[in-house]
């Protein structure tokens, strides 16, 4: 977990996928090897004196997590647990901000208490980098309180190092109620803001917008995709990708999708898309199906 808030973490995932693909292709090429690599006499047992393998579990002896919960599409790129903090902060902000022009009265705030699960690698009182900010209960809550939203630019260095952010971070405290366990299915975030005159406002989030119990709307999901994809692809390509993914089950040739993802001119694909969409009149599946 030491690399949870570094550039290395996503590298691990990609590297694992890379090795999986390599193993698949090598097997397709009929690469030969010893089938007894796990056996005591010739495998790990030949090198480790305490090697004591157990029988593999049966397929019905375990529960797949995704059989019990769905996939959550985040509305902003940060650790999932911080989305509860953002949701609670957005709710309590309504008690404090008279107008967006006036902003948050940070000078009047005495303390901010976040009641969250005890998750050490998301407890970062003063993040120094984009990656640390994405893994900080404190920063995400402060960004929402100050700006009214959390977006990709919220994690840029100039936003993280704003004086008003640092001032507010110094007022944040974490509490860990014993009933608030680190489970994406049951955790919550409660935020209490106490003003210097003693007034306290408290709000709580049990399910943030984007959680599988409260999924992003199709419009918001497409808006997120367009905002991200438009950073490297032209507008026409982005719109074509939306159409392709919406009709993924009807796609006969995946090269249409992969070609668009490479970012060439859309003219070559226009005829394929036009033909594909005119040939199918079934109800389009939701983008969330992928």
**pLDDT at 13 > cutoff 60:** yes
Domain contains 58: no
Most confident of 59-63, 67-71, 115-119: 115-119
pTM: 0.77
The percentage of residues in the chain with a pLDDT greater than 90, rounded to a whole number, is: 62
Residue 122 in any domain: the answer is yes
Q: Is residue 60 part of a domain?
A: no
Question: Do 191 and 89 contact (CB within 8 A), yes or no?
Answer: yes
pLDDT at 280: 55
In a domain, 4, yes or no: yes
pLDDT of residue 156: 96
Ordered DSSP codes for 238-285: HHHHHHHHHTGGG-S-THHHHHHHH---SHHHHHHHHHHHHH--SPPP
> Is residue 59 domain-resident?
no
* Any domain includes 66: no
Residues 134 and 31 in one domain: no
Task: Check whether 127 has a pLDDT greater than 80.
Answer: yes
pLDDT at 147: 95
Total Cβ atoms within 10 A of residue 134:
21
249 and 176, same structural domain?
no
Boundary residue ending a domain (142, 173, 205):
205
The count of domains in the chain is 3
The residue range of the domain holding 24 is 1-53
Across 249-264, average pLDDT = 85
Q: Which of 175, 159, 207 is nearest to 111 (CA)?
A: 175
Q: What is the mean pLDDT of the chain?
A: 87
pLDDT higher at 155 or 9: 155
Does residue 136 register a pLDDT over 70? yes
Q: Which residue has the higher pLDDT, 289 or 32?
A: 32
155 and 112 within one domain? yes
Residues 185 and 245 in one domain: no
How far is residue 228's CA from residue 222's CA, in Å, rounded to a whole number? 10
Same domain, 101 and 49: no
Alpha helices of the chain — where are they, by DSSP H?
8-28, 65-68, 82-93, 130-134, 137-147, 157-160, 163-169, 218-229, 235-246, 255-262, 267-279
Mean pLDDT of 149-173: 96
Residue 105, domain CATH: 3.30.1330.120
Whether residues 168 and 257 fall in one domain? no
Residue 155: strand, helix, or coil: helix
pLDDT tops 80 at residue 139: yes
Quick one: pLDDT at residue 81?
Answer: 96
| Confidence (pLDDT) at 253 | 86
Instruction: Please determine, for residue 69, whether its predicted confidence score (pLDDT) is greater than 50.
Output: yes
CB 264 within 8 A of CB 236: no
Q: Quick one: pLDDT at residue 64? A: 80
Structure tokens at 125: 């009182």
Distance CA 136, CA 149 (A): 16
Report the C-alpha gap between 99 and 78 in whole angstroms.
Answer: 27
Mean pLDDT (whole number) for 105-117: 96
State how beta strands 200-205 and 189-195 pair.
antiparallel
Look at residue 69 and tell me if it is in a domain.
no
Instruction: Read off the pLDDT of each residue in 247-258 and give the average, rounded to a whole number.
Output: 88
CA distance 139 to 160: 8
104 and 195 belong to one structural domain: yes
Last residue of a domain, one of 205, 227, 247: 205
Of 182, 205, 228, the domain-final residue? 205
Q: Assess whether pLDDT exceeds 60 at residue 199.
A: yes
**pLDDT exceeds cutoff 60 at 223:** yes
* Other residues' Cβ atoms within 10 Å of the Cβ of residue 10: 11
Note the pLDDT of residue 9.
82
The winner for highest mean pLDDT among 3-7, 66-70, 184-188 is 184-188
User: 62: exposed, middle or buried (C-beta count within 10 Å: 0-12, 13-18, 19+)?
Assistant: exposed
In the predicted structure, residue 265 carries a pLDDT above the cut 60? no
């Amino acid at each position: 977990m030491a690399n949870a808030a570094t550039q290395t973490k996503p590298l691990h995932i990609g590297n694992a996928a890379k090795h999986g693909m390599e193993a698949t292709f090598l097997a397709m090429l009929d690469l030969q090897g010893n089938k007894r690599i796990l056996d005591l006499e010739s495998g790990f047992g030949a090198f480790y004196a305490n090697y004591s393998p157990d029988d593999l579990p049966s397929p019905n002896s375990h529960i797949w997590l995704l059989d019990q919960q769905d996939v959550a599409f985040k509305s902003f790129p940060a650790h999932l647990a911080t989305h509860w903090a953002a949701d609670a902060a957005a709710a309590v902000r309504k008690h404090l901000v008279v107008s967006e022009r006036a902003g948050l009265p940070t000078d009047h705030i005495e303390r901010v208490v976040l009641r969250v699960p005890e998750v050490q690698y998301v407890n970062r009182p003063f993040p120094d980098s984009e990656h640390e900010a994405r893994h900080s209960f404190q920063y995400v809550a402060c960004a929402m309180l100050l700006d009214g939203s959390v977006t990709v630019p919220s994690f840029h260095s100039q936003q993280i190092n704003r004086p008003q952010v640092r001032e507010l971070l110094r007022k944040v405290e974490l509490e860990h109620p014993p009933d608030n366990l680190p489970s994406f299915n049951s955790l919550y975030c409660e935020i209490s803001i106490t003003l210097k005159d003693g007034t306290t406002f408290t709000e709580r989030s049990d399910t943030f917008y984007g959680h599988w119990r409260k999924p992003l709307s199709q419009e918001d999901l497409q808006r997120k995709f367009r905002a991200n994809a438009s950073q490297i692809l032209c507008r026409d390509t982005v719109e074509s990708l939306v159409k392709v993914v919406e009709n993924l089950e009807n796609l006969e040739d995946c090269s249409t999708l992969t070609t668009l993802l490479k970012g060439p001119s859309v003219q070559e694909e226009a005829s394929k898309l036009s033909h594909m969409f005119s040939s199918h009149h079934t109800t389009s599946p939701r983008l969330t199906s992928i």
